[in-house]
Amino acid sequence: MSKEKRTFFANTVHTLVTKVFIAGLKLALSVLTARTLGVSGRGLFFLSTSLAGTTSTVGSFSIGEGLTFLIAKGSLKRKEIFGTASALLILFTLFLWIVIYCLIPFLMDNILSELDADLVPFIFLLIPFLLIEYLFGQILKGLEKFKLLNYLSIFTRSIIIVSLLGFVFTQPVTFSNFFKAYVFVLGAIATIQMLILWYLSYFRISLNIQAIKEIFKFGFSVHLGIMMTEIEHRLDVFILAFFLSASAIGIYSIAVVMAQLLWYSSNALNSVLFPYLASRL
């Protein structure tokens, strides 16, 4: 077996093990939220994070995959990564904020009816934090730094659980305070991820306009499939929220997290295979 094939195999196995471990951490977070907030609180937590996550995925037009493709192909230089990613982050954050703002009346009446209106701004804050996590992961895939991505993924999710446990044992626990603490932790992690991207870009802030055009072109070409997959995985949550209660979502969400364990074997291969093929076109 050639060195290249051994590296590909090692990265795939490492990614698979990491994703299984992360699945365990996600399950631990589900148990923590359910035990701390109760079934209804768990449902509201899952619904709020799913709304921000689905909005980020569907509304980002797969620019992350475009970044992976251009970086792996060598069309986007490392010194240009931070500046280009920052421009995309600002652009899509503003775009998604406008979309959510327009939908807020419908969402509050039909989907988020049990959520305190004071927490809506924190859902807005979640969107750029999740976009940063998404872009960060796709950039590291493009650079083929799979071990760094895997270690950081485990580290950041462990930080989330440890921080929330610390909050539970030291502060009065209400859904509002818990959700705010979660958003705060994600914000701290997003800051660290941006600093790492700046470091990987040699502390340069350079914008590649032509690359942005190519990112959009590639992202649009693959977005339909990615968007439909996300809708398939999340639509049931919003249907439950429309017809039933937060408690029903809380029970259902635990089953969803456990079922997602089955996706990780194929997902690990895809994570490594895409940049591997893109770098050899």
First to last CA, the chain: 22
- Tell me, what's the pLDDT at 124? 97
For position 256, what pLDDT does the model report? 75
Question: Are the CB atoms for 72 and 218 separated by under 8 Å?
Answer: no
Whether the CB-CB separation of 250 and 40 falls below 8 Å is answered with: yes
Sign of CA dihedral 130, 135, 136, 137: positive
Burial class (CB in 10 A: 0-12, 13-18, 19+), 41: buried
Nearest to 251 by CA among 34, 22, 25, 51: 34
| CA-wise closest residue to 135 among 185, 183, 171, 84 | 84
Could you read off the pLDDT of 165-207 as tens digits, one per residue? 999 999 989 999 999 999 999 999 999 999 999 999 999 999 9
Rounded distance, CA 259 to CA 201, Å?
Answer: 38
> How much is the pLDDT for 21?
83
Can you give the pLDDT at residue 20? 76
Helices (H), 60-119: 63-73, 78-110
pLDDT tens digits for range 243-253: 988 888 988 88
Q: How far apart are CA 21 and CA 16, in angstroms?
A: 9
Q: How far apart are alpha carbons 41 and 34 in whole angstroms?
A: 7
Mean pLDDT (the chain, rounded)? 88
pLDDT digits (tens, 9 = 90+) for 40-75: 999 999 999 999 999 999 999 999 999 999 999 999
86-114 pLDDT, tens digit each: 999 999 999 999 999 999 999 999 999 99
Give, in order, the Cα–Cα distances in Å from 235 to each of 47, 50, 202, 240, 280: 11, 10, 41, 9, 36
pLDDT band of 278, cuts 50, 70, 90 = low
CA distance 15 to 146: 7
